[in-house]
Amino acid sequence: MTPLDTLQAHSSFFVICLGGALALPLLSFLLCFYVSEKYSWATSVLAPFLMMASTVCAAVVLYQAWNHPAFTWQRVWFSIADHTFTAGIHVNNASALMLFVVTGVSFLVHVYSIGYMAGDTALRRYFAMLGFFTFSMLGIVVSDNLLLIFVFWELVGFSSYMLIGHWNESPAAAEASKRAFIINRVGDAGFLIGLMLVWTHGHTFNIEALRALPLDPAWMTAASLCIFCGVVGKSAQFPLFTWLPDAMEGPTPVSALIHAATMVTAGVFLLGRAHFLFTPAALNVVAITGAITALLGAFAALSQHDIKKVLAYSTMSQLGLMVAAMGAGAPEAALLHLFTHAFFKACLFLSAGSIIHALHQAQHQSHVNFDVQDIRLLGGLRKKLPFTFIMFVVSGSALAGLPLFSGFLSKDAILAALVHWSNTGDAWHWVVLLVVALVSFVTVLYTFRLVWTIFNGEEKSTASLVVSEPPVVMRAPMAVLALASVWIWFSWNPFSFSGWIYNHIGAAKDFHGGFVSMASAAWVLLALAVAYASRGRKLDSRLLAQGFYVDLFSRKAIEQPTLQLADLTHRADKKWIDGFLHATAYAQVIVANLTGWFDRAIVDGFVDGAAGLAKSIGSFTRSFQGGKIQLYIFWAAFAIIIFIIWTLL
Amino acid sequence: MNAPLILFYFFEAAAAIAAVALLFARSVFYGALLVIVILLALAGLYVLAFAEFVAVTQILVYAGGILVVIIFGIMLTSRLSGKPLVVEHTLPVSGGLVGLAFFGALVYAIALQTFPTSESVAKTSTTFDATQTVGIALMSDYVLPFETTGILLLMALIGAAVMASDNASKKI
Amino acid sequence: MQPYLISLLIFIPLLAAFLGLFLPATSTTSFRTLALTANVLQVIVLVVMLSHFHPGGLQLVELKPWITLNMGSWGVLKASYFVGVDGLSLPLVALAVFVLLVATVSSWKITENVKGYFILLLILNGAIIGSFTALDFLLFYLFFEFMLLPMFFLIAIWGGPRREYASIKFFLYTLLGSVLILIVLIALYVSVQEPSGSAPLVHSFNLLHMADASNFIPHALLDPHHISKLGPLSFRAWAFLLLVIGFGIKLPMVPLHTWLPDAHVEAPTPISVILAALLLKIGGYGLARIAFPIFPEAAIDLGWFVGLLGVISIIYGGLNAMASKDLKRLIAYSSVSHMGFVLLGLSSLTAEGTAGAVYQMFSHGLISAMLFLLAGVLSDRTANRTIAHYSGLATKMPTYTAFVLIAFFASLGLPGFSGFIAEVMIFLGAFKSSSVGGPLHESLAIIATSGLVIGAAYYLWTMQRMFFGVFNLKGQMSPEQLPDLNRREYIMLVPLAVAVLVFGIFPQPVLSIIDPYAQHFAEFVLRSGKSITP
Amino acid sequence: MQSFAEKLQSTATSFGGFVPELVLSAGIVIIVVAGLIARKQPVWTALLCALVFLASLLFELTYWNAYATPRGLFSNMLRSDSFSAYLRIIIDISGLLTVFMTTRDPKPLRFHAEYYALLATVILGAHLLVMSQSLAMVFLSLEMISLSSYVLAGFSFSRHGTEGSLKYFLFGSVSSAAMLYGFSFLYGLTGTLDFSAPEFARQLIEHPSPLFFVAAAFALAGFFFKIAAAPLHPWVPDVYEAAPTPVVAFFAVVPKLAGLGVLARFTLVLQAGGHAIFDWQLVLCAVAILSLTVGNFSALWQKNAKRLMGYSSVAQSGFLLVGIAAFLPQGIHYLLFYASAYAVGSFIVFLYLHYFERLGFSSLESFAGTGRVWLWPSVFLLIGFISLTGLPPTGGFTGKLFIFTSLWDAYQLSGKSIVLWLMIFGLLNTVVSLFYYLRIPFFAFVRNGKHVATTNNLTFENLLGLLLVVGILFLFFNPGLLMGWINKINFAL
Amino acid sequence: MAPVHHFLYLGAFLFSTGLIVIITKRNTIMVLLGLELMLNASNLNLVAFNSLHPGSLQGQMFALFVIVVAVCEAAVGLAIVLRVYRQYRTSVPDHVNELNQ
């Protein structure tokens, strides 16, 4: 099928909507920079409006593309020799859905930001970068070739850098944004190597074309693992996850966006996109990495004290689950979890943001200062923030995987896939399954702990504050997202994950999920009970609180040595390489002095040493300065006779 | 051993001994006298080598001219001290070694050498009128060097006059 | 008109320099106007040139006899005024015209001895264009050397506090390089004859003739058909190495790079711009134009070495940049790192790598010009470029920070900026090299990717230290000294930023010019290199 | 054997090819006499001297075609050919320039007639030297140059001048005595004083011996002294520092080129077309390398401009020797080209060193800031230095390109590694040389000095400088003109 | 007549002696004397060699010219020495050493 044919297969309305969905965020980015300083408030109207338009377009695209042949469109980007590098769009069910989810969540975050960021000095930059962030993510979603994905991949990194570091006067934010970008770059370097492998062996980056190529498993394993490096960086997998908790320094809506729809999900989406590249060997690595990440994230979330960090580790853990599912050969399950997670995690963050926002406002009024994100200082907020409480509970339930919530469905899908996988493959696959089960248990624990600490019990530091619910622009998005966290949107049957999404975003394998669903429900309820029973306990583990010291390790073992190496090379540059130059300069002095021997009379004493060293020392310094003609003659004669004797011999 | 040969070795020995003495002479004046001895001895050798004209020139110009000039120079440059000028040595060891090395290398090279002769030596006689031949040669084959020498002499004298001119003595 | 376009481009500035000699030294504006007029005229000529150029081989050629000496039995020595542009030189010429225009505008800050400054600048201008277009080795060498003295004086007279040391170092290094090139030049033209083959023998400096193995005089020491050895390598390999070192100094290539940081730190802003954006490129240009095509078999044999040096440059330069305490020095080291990519790309002997290398030269010209202009903004205001003395500049100079951000991200190879295209193609080419018979091992490309991380690290760290955080100054500066960008700076920076962006998103116009050259280069070097191997 | 009459006849015809030298000889006498008459008018003697040189130059040019066919003069004492004629032309021009430079000196020149007569004598000696092919004539003309030079070196009449003179004299006479000693052995070994005679070469080839080598080495020592090559160079810096600048300019060119001319002939005989048992190429290469090293490295740390130029002169001898060491026919042509470029470059430099010396600048530091005030002189000086370094776009570069070309050719032919080393070493020395050549321009343009002066750019000096600068640039941009002329020169014995 | 070699040995001896004198004597006039010795060594050689070629007078003629040149050298040399003495009040060459200070 030529690109033209596919174009005709879809209505021009579809194309316009697709273009709109992609271009409007970019337009938002450009326009926001053009708004003058004076009217910067206008951006908070303009950007959400454009995002809304984009969301509508995406909805149309989703509606029209759903269960239709994939829409493809290609242009030559540039060409070299007989190879062309194309830029193209490929929209199938998964990407159309992702398109909608990304734009939708982004729109909600935009709206929420109107309230949350009101009064910020750099509002234009904020909304512009939000637009750009969304645009970059959309780029990844619809691109039809790996190079283009890599391009947007990096742009996502860039926009996250800008957003995490939005409050760049704060050193911590600046540090966090820098680290996020650099750690992502480490993964990207791996991704790039993967691209090189693909190019060298396949001579194309086009995903569909690659799918059709006869491929050699050895280099496919290598290439897919390299590409997985990129995923590890972007989706915060072990060991490159440390940037994610740090990224909480950014504004909370940004965190919501990063964790729900953009950035971290990009990795999982790419895994789904390029899943055919992964050989079983590579998939094993993927599964193990995912399981480790999920486990680490879940346990680390247990002993965090910062609301956002708990959520961050929880995201990491959830991403681990998705990656593990990918590794287990169930991309549909992973994607399903991706979508459900997008909504409830966004809701969780926005709710957390709501708490932070409300308490900040209150603090501001009563001039009290404490860390509003530290849950040890919070408590009993249920009465003061009832709406937020409900939102938190709903989305938290989804996260915990309680039945009737979306999380239950997708987690079920993953578990079912893993059960199937462990039945068919090597024995150690069971370990992964067990780990995942453990993770879902721990998820319940920390979610319960979070909700309980914040909303139940006595008020601590907040007792004296006059706290009010956030404005409606913030509450509305939360409500929408909470609504999207119930099962109904994903499958009619609250206990069966094989709904319309699961069955159509890929070549879904139908697992017999009934037993797993029951077991899972029971498991979660057991966990809930345990959580309630241990509600007062504190888990103070430095190991967990510090994220297993991976961060510390990377600082001590990688960053510091690198800096020391840089220092070393810098000194080497000055001392050795430059020093060599200077040494040659000294050598010149020496040579000049040696030749000066000829002209001057250094050797006066040397030659006549036999006659009397003492006598000549006096004339030594003087002889240094000027020429004695007889010495001139002596040296000339000496040179000649040496030369003659040397030749005669 | 015939008389010329005895004379030859006599002159050689005289020149050599005088030269050795010159090496150790500490008075310029004695040095000059020793050089006169050498020059005269050489003149004798020239005669033995059938170069009477050169020998005569040697005695007249060298011993008679140059040396007088040099002795005159000694007088001029030692007039302040009044006492006999004592000459120190500089670089005696290294200078001597270099000189000896030259001598050794030359003797080594000469000893290995045979020289081409254009005609048999026996044919020449002591009656060969060198002076006339020299005169003819100077006017024919050697007219260019002869004239060149003239200009050289002229300019050397003018140059010497410039250098020695008294009003040039400024102390800067 | 068309046949004289290149000559016009070369001689407009030289003529202007000559005219400048007769202007009164007191009139500052007249020199600015003169230089600017020359630059604008060059831009016009360039536009005409671009409209006449069609992607393909050598074009707009001018070939005039210059020196023809009949040396009797030895033959005829022939050098010509031979200029032309192809896919390699045209982008660089365009870059040169553009950057020189920016540099002239940036020279408004110069107030001392304006006459001398602008005359030297104009001479430098002509010499740079000349080097990029010359196709006769002697002519090339003339222009190559001709750049040296103006540059030397521009650094030494108008430079910073340690200018004398820096200028002499620059001069010595570059001269050393050019002497090495001279050795090869002599050896080459003695060994090469014009293809006519008739008596008398014509020794030609024509670079195209030199690149044809059949033009070598049989049994000459550089004759590819009778390879004579000197030590472990053949004469041709030695010659190749000499050229690599000679041009590598200019490039600069580790470990021959130490002149660069000093020269950059001390040079006045416009000169830094020219140095980084144009002079370094002449090293890469020389390798691509002279070293590789004339000694293809040596390029295949020793390409791994060149590539290795490239990788070392990438990493070593990056590490040094990380440890630099002076902003300009940091940028200078980043240039070392980026020019390492050029070496890597060229030595891959693939079309991708070559095109990437040329594109990298082009793009680095734009980006480094921008970086040095930005560094110049700070030096102009406070004469202090120590990174540690600043923090939180973003609040005080937001526009400036925005441009710095763009330049930094462009330089670290963010997609959307021109550097990305170049680096990706170089990586692809370098990785692919061994599979098409090129000299590079895959591991080189893999190791080189670490340069991406290092690049991000030092730029973002600098960003964090200087621009983020709370506004604070150290070292006897007051905030009043730091107004945001003025109109002139804005005018200089915007076109560069736009160009970097445009060529990052739409590389095809430039690549279509480079492409025929790159294909020909890779194919030619590989084919003729393989055919020469004894 | 010819009859006396025939000899006289051939002598008489010899004068036909000897007109410039006759003019010079007559000129010397006239100048001396004129000096006695016009004691107080140095301008007249200068003009007279210039006229003599000009006449000599014009005669050289008119006889140029006649020189194309080589012939022996005065019973083969001299050889009249275009090779020597070319060098004589450069020598005459140098003489003219020196006269001009001298007249620029504001201080009254004492003994002016003697001064100009001595200049003319050196020129005459140089003429004779480049034509000589008899060892006797070589010795005589060399002495003619030397003795006059000793006096000229002391013409500043200061303590330093005298010291330079003494050192020059002692060193020079010892070297010429050594050379003479070598000549005497050469005579004994070959039976002839005419080194171009066939039997001279035959004896060399058929009876090589250690003594022959020693003798030739002694003879070469004298030549090396004259061209200021290491290891017979130690006198150079002292003399250059002490002598008046015009004289130094003169020394840097005239005796050097004259010595070079005879050295080229003599070594060609010694090498005997490669049949010689001793490798004289090796000797020349070694001396060239030594001169380059000694000259360049010692020059690096000099503080006095003229002393620096002294060492530079040693290094330049090394480069000139490169041209000879190639032992190729075109090598001689290239050598002549380089020598011309060297002469022009050297005169540019000395012209302006003299200019600045009159303004009171002689140490390198004192040049600080002069470039700002005396722009054109400084720029011309810079171009002169660039030419001496051998960078484009000057004739110095073309010359260097040419001589190293012939060296590479020589290497291709012989495969001797020393030749290759000389080439690499020589070119690398260019870098070193630039270091000191640029020091004066560096001080002049880069360092700041306090000079307040109004300058007059339209002096005859600057016009002359401009002419020379244009010449040196022309030698780069169109070397064909001069090279075409040089190519007509047939250099053979 | 004695073999020519004996002339040459003496010549070599005189030459070397002259050289030693020139290098070692701390008096300019002595140095001049050494110089004369060296010139005479050459003359001796020339005359001796000429005796091997009786038909020609080359060596002898050369020797004559050398003598004349020696005169010139002596004259110029003495003039210089006198000037040195007048300006430096010394005839020790080592003490004439003010350049390059």
Residues A496-521: pLDDT tens digits? Answer: 777 777 777 776 666 666 777 788 88
Q: Which fold has domain E4-95?
A: Helix Hairpins (1.10.287)
Joined tokens for residue C526: 């590989």
Subunits that touch chain A (at least 3 Cβ pairs < 8 angstroms)?
B, C, D, E
Distance CA A224, CA C364 (A): 32
One-letter amino acid for residue D34 of the chain:
A
Q: Is residue D376 part of a domain?
A: yes
Residue B168 pLDDT exceeds 90: no
A170 min Cα distance to partner chain C (Å): 5
Tell me if chain A has a CB within 8 Å of the CB of E16: no
Task: Give residue A403's pLDDT.
Answer: 81
- Cβ pair C176:D428 closer than 8 A: yes
A607 min Cα distance to partner chain B (Å): 6
**CB pairs < 8 Å spanning A and C:** 145
Joined tokens for residue D89: 């032309």
- Cβ pair A627:D301 closer than 8 A: no
C165 or C286, greater pLDDT = C286
- Cβ pair B108:A604 closer than 8 A: no
Closest CA to C83 of C208, C177, C199: C208
Maximum Cα–Cα distance for chain A, whole Å?
116
Tell me if chain B has a CB within 8 Å of the CB of E95: no
Tell me if chain D has a CB within 8 Å of the CB of E66: yes
Q: Is residue C214 part of a domain?
A: no
Tell me if chain A has a CB within 8 Å of the CB of C169: yes
Q: How many domains does chain D fold into?
A: 1
Report residue A206: phi and psi, to 5°: -65, 125
Write the residue in A78, A165, A569 that is nearest to C319 by C-beta.
Answer: A569
Chain E hits for B153, CB-CB cut-off 8 Å, are 68, 71-72
- Cβ pair D174:A633 closer than 8 A: yes
Query: Do residues A327 and A285 touch, judged by C-beta distance below 8 A?
Result: yes
Chain B interface mutation, best of E19, E24, E50, E66, highest count of B Cβ atoms under 10 Å: E24
**Residues 115-144, chain D: which have Cβ within 8 Å of E?**
135-136, 139-140, 143
Q: Pick the residue from chain B with its C-alpha nearest to D21.
A: B148
Tell me if chain C has a CB within 8 Å of the CB of A150: yes
Q: pLDDT tier at B76 (50, 70, 90 boundaries)?
A: confident
Write the residue in B94, B101, B109 that is nearest to A608 by C-beta.
Answer: B94
Distance CA A245, CA A263 (A): 14
Closest CA to A31 of A114, A151, A124: A124
- Each residue's pLDDT expressed in tens, for chain D with a length of 493 residues: 456 777 778 888 888 778 899 999 999 999 999 888 877 888 888 999 999 999 999 999 998 888 888 888 888 888 888 899 999 999 999 999 999 999 888 777 888 889 999 999 999 999 999 999 899 999 999 999 999 999 999 888 888 888 889 999 999 999 999 999 999 999 988 888 888 888 888 888 888 888 888 999 999 999 999 999 988 888 898 899 889 999 999 999 999 999 999 999 899 888 877 777 788 888 899 999 989 988 888 887 778 899 889 999 999 999 999 988 888 888 888 999 999 999 999 999 999 999 998 888 888 888 888 888 888 889 999 999 999 998 888 999 999 989 998 888 888 888 888 898 898 888 888 888 887 888 888 888 888 878 777 777 778 888 999 999 999 999 998 888 888 888 888 776 5
Q: How many domains does chain C fold into?
A: 1
Ranking A524-538, C72-86, C273-287, C424-438 by mean pLDDT, the lowest is A524-538
Distance CA A579, CA A583 (A): 6
Chain A hits for D300, CB-CB cut-off 8 Å, are 588, 592
SS (H, E, C) chain D: CCCHHHHHHHHHHHHHHHHHHHHHHHHHHHHHHHHHHCCCCHHHHHHHHHHHHHHHHHHHHHCHHHHCCCEEECCCCEEECHHHHHHHHHHHHHHHHHHHHHHCCCCCCCCHHHHHHHHHHHHHHHHHHHHECEHHHHHHHHHHHHHHHHHHHCCCCCHHHHHHHHHHHHHHHHHHHHHHHHHHHHHHHHCCCECCCHHHHHHHHHCCCHHHHHHHHHHHHHHHHHHCCCCCCCHHHHHHHHCCHHHHHHHHHHHHHHHHHHHHHHHHHHHHHHCCCCCHHHHHHHHHHHHHHHHHHHHCCCCEHHHHHHHHHHHHHHHHHHHHHCCCHHHHHHHHHHHHHHHHHHHHHHHHHHHHHHHCCCECHHHCCHHHHCHHHHHHHHHHHHHHHCCCCCHHHHHHHHHHHHHHHHHHHHCCHHHHHHHHHHHHHHHHHHHHHCHHHHHHHHCCCCCCCCCCCCCHHHHHHHHHHHHHHHHHHCHHHHHHHHHCCCCCC
Task: Give residue E1's pLDDT.
Answer: 57
- Cβ pair D165:E83 closer than 8 A: yes
Chain D hits for A644, CB-CB cut-off 8 Å, are 213-214, 217
> Residue C407 sits in which domain range?
295-534
Chain A hits for E95, CB-CB cut-off 8 Å, are none
Chain E hits for B49, CB-CB cut-off 8 Å, are 1, 7, 47-48, 50-51
Chain E hits for D139, CB-CB cut-off 8 Å, are 62, 65-66, 69
Q: Which stretches within A303-428 are classed as H helix?
A: 307-327, 331-366, 381-384, 386-400, 406-424
Chain D hits for C145, CB-CB cut-off 8 Å, are 391-393, 397
Joined tokens for residue C432: 């692919």
Tell me if chain E has a CB within 8 Å of the CB of B86: no
Write the residue in E69, E81, E100 that is nearest to D241 by C-beta.
Answer: E100
CA distances in angstroms from C221 to C74, C192, C225, C235, C347, listed in the order given: 16, 10, 10, 7, 25
Q: Pick the residue from chain A with its C-alpha nearest to D279.
A: A647
Tell me if chain A has a CB within 8 Å of the CB of B100: no
Q: Pick the residue from chain E with its C-alpha nearest to A622.
A: E97
Buried/exposed B48-70: b ≥16 CB within 10 Å, e otherwise:
bbbbbbbbebbbebbbebbbebb
Distance CA D154, CA E83 (A): 10
Subunits that touch chain E (at least 3 Cβ pairs < 8 angstroms)?
A, B, D
Task: Give residue B172's pLDDT.
Answer: 39
Hey, where are the domains in chain A? 160-548, 558-648
Q: Can chain B be said to touch chain E, i.e. do they have 3 or more Cβ pairs within 8 angstroms?
A: yes
- Cβ pair E99:D169 closer than 8 A: no
Tell me if chain D has a CB within 8 Å of the CB of A581: no
Chain B hits for D141, CB-CB cut-off 8 Å, are 148
CATH architecture, domain B1-90: Up-down Bundle (1.20)
**Residues 40-99, chain E: which have Cβ within 8 Å of A?**
93-94, 96-99
**Residues 280-319, chain C: which have Cβ within 8 Å of A?**
316, 319
Tell me if chain B has a CB within 8 Å of the CB of D114: yes
Q: Pick the residue from chain E with its C-alpha nearest to D153.
A: E80
Long-range Cβ contacts of C494-497 (<8 Å, 24+ apart): C495/C98, C495/C102, C496/C102, C496/C366, C496/C369, C496/C370, C496/C373, C497/C370, C497/C403, C497/C406, C497/C407
Subunits that touch chain C (at least 3 Cβ pairs < 8 angstroms)?
A, D
Tell me if chain B has a CB within 8 Å of the CB of A648: yes
For residue range C475-522, what is the model confidence (pLDDT) as tens digits? Answer: 777 878 788 888 888 888 999 999 999 999 999 889 989 999 999 898
Task: Name the packing angle between helices A429-455 and A514-533 (round to 10°).
Answer: 40
Write the residue in B90, B91, B105 that is nearest to A645 by C-beta.
Answer: B105
- Cβ pair D409:C168 closer than 8 A: no
Q: pLDDT tier at B42 (50, 70, 90 boundaries)?
A: very high
Chain B hits for A632, CB-CB cut-off 8 Å, are none
Q: Is residue D311 part of a domain?
A: yes
Q: Is residue C342 part of a domain?
A: yes
Q: What is the mean pLDDT of chain A?
A: 80
- Cβ pair D424:C183 closer than 8 A: yes
Chain A hits for E101, CB-CB cut-off 8 Å, are 625-626
Please name the residue that has the structure tokens 């009171």.
Answer: D360
Task: Give residue C197's pLDDT.
Answer: 63
Tell me if chain C has a CB within 8 Å of the CB of A165: yes
SS (H, E, C) A396-447: HHHHHCCCCEHHHHHHHHHHHHHHHHHHHCCCCHHHHHHHHHHHHHHHHHHH
Chain D hits for B161, CB-CB cut-off 8 Å, are 114
E45 min Cα distance to partner chain D (Å): 6
Tell me if chain E has a CB within 8 Å of the CB of D242: yes
Chain C hits for A587, CB-CB cut-off 8 Å, are none
